[in-house]
Structure 1
Amino acid sequence: MRSSLSQGWLMLLLTNSPFWVGLAAGIRGASQAIFSVPVGSLADRFDRRKILIVTQSTGALATLTIAVLVLTHVIRPWHLFIYLIVAGAVYSANRPCVNGLIYDVVGEHRLLNASAFQSMAGSLFRIFGALGGGMIIDKVGVGENYLLISACYLAGTGALLLLKTPVVIRRAPEPLFSEVAAGLRYALRTRRLRHLLALSLMNESFGFSFFTMLPVMARDVLRVGGIGMGYLTAVNGVGQLAATLRIVSRGDVRNKGRMVVTAALGFGVFVTLFGLSQWFLVSLIFATLIGYMASTYDATMATVVQLAASDKMRGRILGLYSFTLSLSPLGGLITGTVATLLNTPLAIALSGAVVITGALGLYPRLHAVTFSTAEVSLETGQGRVPFSGDRTGTDVAMHE
């Protein structure tokens, strides 16, 4: 099960308050926001695989610590807050390094399909992890579920140790602050990046707070407990899997701008409908459709953000993109506060309405953009060597 859902369920057990569930998400989001931008610069400097090995190992140790505290019945909210700071830092490092590593391996013409395959793997993990995690929480306990999450971190570390990665010839590093400032200036003056990051800010701040409030919806509104939360998460994964299969079957899509903004619009619509639903079976349908739209949006956004950036700025732009992702748990804090003042269904529906408004506002600016190499080179004034099968155009050679 997603660690963010496990943290929400654990905080709900400890405090019985939607506000504290949102606060926990906000602390994690604040940690991600603080670390994401400088880590993006580090992803341009150092071996991304080695960074990921360190972060996955750290995540495994931190999650194991929470499992032990829960199983020994000494867990307190402040323990979880410390863990969430570490988890936020781990996530902020993982996202730009994973995405950048995928680009290094497959190149731009296969990037959308590779992003879809990455999302597919996450969908399969979400389906089986959610069902298993929900049953573990209900039948055994949340501590055992954290043991499972720790084992998953370790499995990821093992896979990275076996991975043969490209050797990328990197530029001489500049002072970290100068690199971060250069990345910010580049994003602000590149029109497509501005629009994409604005769309990501809107979606992450409001739409994806749906996941933060899922434990509250499952226990207090739909009254289906941990197993029901597992089903909601699993069907969301089914929707994501269906979307990734659809993307893979289509191959490279020319009009990626229309694809990303339309998916964002549909995502907002179904989040709103989910918030308004009071019936479990109807909620399962909307959770599935949310997964479909969210996966289409995520895979396409992860692709176009990289295609809209020049090679030397890619890591820093991915760091900024990771920063927008950190606003998802911070948005959970906002949604949790609104849920405490009003109610949880209305808070989720209002979040979806904000996403709809943002997508409609950005549709005229993004719907006709293809994010081709020629477009990016023309806008940024920086030529790029086209991808070729032997990867020599990007100074990459494979380890033997």
Structure 2
Amino acid sequence: MEKKKNDPYAALRFREFNIFLLVRFAMVFAWSMQFVVIEWQVYSITKDPFSLGIIGLMEVIPAVSLALFAGHVVDQKEKKGLLLKCILGFSVISFGLFLITWPEVIGDWSQNTVLYTIYALVFLGGVVRSFIGPTIFSLFSLLVPKKIYPNAATWSSSVWQMGAVVGPAIAGFAINWIGVHWSMCFVFACSLVAFLSLTQIPKKPILNTKIGEPVFKSLKEGLNFVFSTKIILGALTLDMFAVLFGGAVALLPVFAQDILKVGPEGFGVLRAAPAVGALIIMFTSAYFPLNKNAGYKLLGAIFAFGCCIILFGVSTWFWVSVIALFLSGITDGISMIIRQTILQLRTPDEMRGRVASVNSMFVGSSNELGAFESGLTAKLMGTVTAVIFGGSMTLITVVSTGALLPSLRKLDLRKDLEEHELKE
């Protein structure tokens, strides 16, 4: 039997998927730019690295608390309409941050009042985020056939990284050129672009056959599936601890302002470096899939990620720091593609919202929890020591996970793809 040639553009041949990519880019760009701008503003107000950790904590509390409920709602509702509501919620929050950074609006407000208002809006953003992740994951699966899920996951992750590249870079330069206030105005405009683009995708069917199922029964079923599927549980756990302890990017305002002394433009370069590396590996993987020996590649990538974080922590040279972050992005990109492919291939259609919500609890929210961990350890240990500690814990996590889960080590996704091709 002749081996099928890999088509790196398979997913891009579907119009609705292309619109989905535009929506995802606009939202990731807006969200990442907003987070960077707010990080800069908060640290400028407080000059305390722990305040950066508070930003992460304010977003992670609602994101984790509501994640399972959000997954249940997503499985019960039409995905496109729900995502429109999520984007509208984000737009309202962005507009609020636009106002709170406008000197003419806040007038003679005290710094604490401004700071607490920012924290409150970030908290509301966490509520919205708890619904966005599962909704995007579920809508994704309705736009392309299962046999090209890996290719679609690669392009979706590439667009995510592209937004994560451009957003922080533009944020750093925008802060310098037009200030924090008008930077937030640009974020608000991007959210409107995402909203209008999504209206071009028609409504999709609800695949869950248990509409109206009691909430607690639904949540229990989702949790049981994740915790009984060792491959999914292992991948989520591994990535969660790697992101949790490797959250050095949360401390970049400290490195940019106080250690490397490179200002807002250097901050933008540092913030974009990991995403540039990830973006390169995303496009490369469209031509050279990562499905063979996926388990070993996942473990190796996260181990290398930990090494890069340690290198960044000990560096006092700007360009060495940039290279370390760039390499961390490459390894993180490999991890992201493999994890997303595992989730898409091994999750039943009727449970995608709940599984994605557990994923957001494990991985998505660990970004913000990692920011809190980094801020706390930086206050207790010092900034450099905290980053080195986080990278070291990532290495320990990889070695432990690989030893305890041999099924994850031996994972090969080619068999899953062959099964889906036979079904279709």
Whether TM exceeds 0.5 here: the answer is yes
1:107 matches 2:145: yes
Give the structure 2 partner of residue 26 of structure 1: 57
Q: Distance in 1 between matches of 2:146 and 2:295?
A: 16
Q: Distance in 1 between matches of 2:238 and 2:156?
A: 21
1:142 matches 2:180: yes
1:48 matches 2:87: no
Instruction: Give the secondary structure class of the aligned counterpart of 2:142.
Output: helix
1:370 matches 2:370: no
Q: CA deviation at 1:372?
A: 5.9
Equivalent residue for 1:91, pick from 116, 129, 153: 129
Q: Is the 8 A contact 1:105 1:165 kept in 2?
A: no
Q: Distance in 2 between matches of 1:69 and 1:21?
A: 18
Give the structure 2 partner of residue 279 of structure 1: 317
Q: Is the 8 A contact 1:256 1:304 kept in 2?
A: no
Q: Distance in 2 between matches of 1:216 and 1:154?
A: 32
Q: CA deviation at 1:53?
A: 0.7
Amino acid at match of 1:333: F
- The residue correspondences of 1:93-172 to structure 2 (distance < 5 A) are 93-164=131-202, 166-172=204-210
Q: Is the 8 A contact 2:80 2:202 kept in 1?
A: no
Q: Distance in 2 between matches of 1:18 and 1:3?
A: 18
**Which deviates further from its counterpart, 215-224 or 187-196?**
187-196
Give the structure 2 partner of residue 58 of structure 1: 89
**Which deviates further from its counterpart, 24-33 or 232-241?**
232-241
Q: Is the 8 A contact 2:76 2:206 kept in 1?
A: no
Per-residue CA shift, 1:21-57, capped at 9, x if unaligned? 1111111111211122211122211111111111111
Q: Is the 8 A contact 1:39 1:93 kept in 2?
A: yes
Give the structure 2 partner of residue 192 of structure 1: 231
Q: Is the 8 A contact 1:112 1:252 kept in 2?
A: no
Per-residue CA shift, 1:292-346, capped at 9, x if unaligned? 1112211221221232333332221111001112122112112111111221121
Give the structure 2 partner of residue 265 of structure 1: 303
Per-residue CA shift, 1:184-209, capped at 9, x if unaligned? 122222222221222132123222x2
Equivalent residue for 2:261, pick from 210, 223, 241: 223
Q: Distance in 2 between matches of 1:350 and 1:19?
A: 16
Percent identity over the alignment is 23
Q: Distance in 1 between matches of 2:85 and 2:269?
A: 33
1:182 matches 2:221: yes
Q: Is the 8 A contact 2:36 2:168 kept in 1?
A: no
Q: Distance in 2 between matches of 1:372 and 1:296?
A: 16
Give the structure 2 partner of residue 5 of structure 1: 36
Q: CA deviation at 1:220?
A: 1.5
Q: CA deviation at 1:130?
A: 2.8
1:309 matches 2:347: yes
1:330 matches 2:330: no
Q: 1:123 to 1:186 in 2, by over 3 A?
A: closer
Amino acid at match of 2:292: R
Q: Distance in 1 between matches of 2:88 and 2:177?
A: 28
Q: Is the 8 A contact 2:62 2:127 kept in 1?
A: yes
Q: Is the 8 A contact 2:291 2:338 kept in 1?
A: no
Amino acid at match of 2:196: G
Q: Which runs of 5+ in 1 are unaligned?
A: 378-383, 389-400
Q: CA deviation at 1:373?
A: 6.6
Q: Is the 8 A contact 2:278 2:334 kept in 1?
A: yes
Q: Is the 8 A contact 2:79 2:203 kept in 1?
A: no
Q: Distance in 1 between matches of 2:77 and 2:320?
A: 47
**Which deviates further from its counterpart, 361-370 or 281-290?**
361-370
Q: Which runs of 5+ in 2 are unaligned?
A: 1-31
Considering only aligned residues, what root-mean-square deviation do their CA atoms show, in Å?
2.2
Q: CA deviation at 1:285?
A: 0.6
Amino acid at match of 1:260: L
Per-residue CA shift, 1:64-98, capped at 9, x if unaligned? 11111111344611111111111112222111111
Question: How many residues are matched?
Answer: 381
Q: Distance in 2 between matches of 1:197 and 1:131?
A: 29
Equivalent residue for 2:397, pick from 353, 358, 377: 358
Q: CA deviation at 1:259?
A: 2.5
Instruction: Give the secondary structure class of the aligned counterpart of 1:213.
Output: helix
Q: Distance in 2 between matches of 1:303 and 1:2?
A: 27
Q: 1:254 to 1:330 in 2, by over 3 A?
A: same
Amino acid at match of 2:143: V
Q: Distance in 1 between matches of 2:241 and 2:79?
A: 28
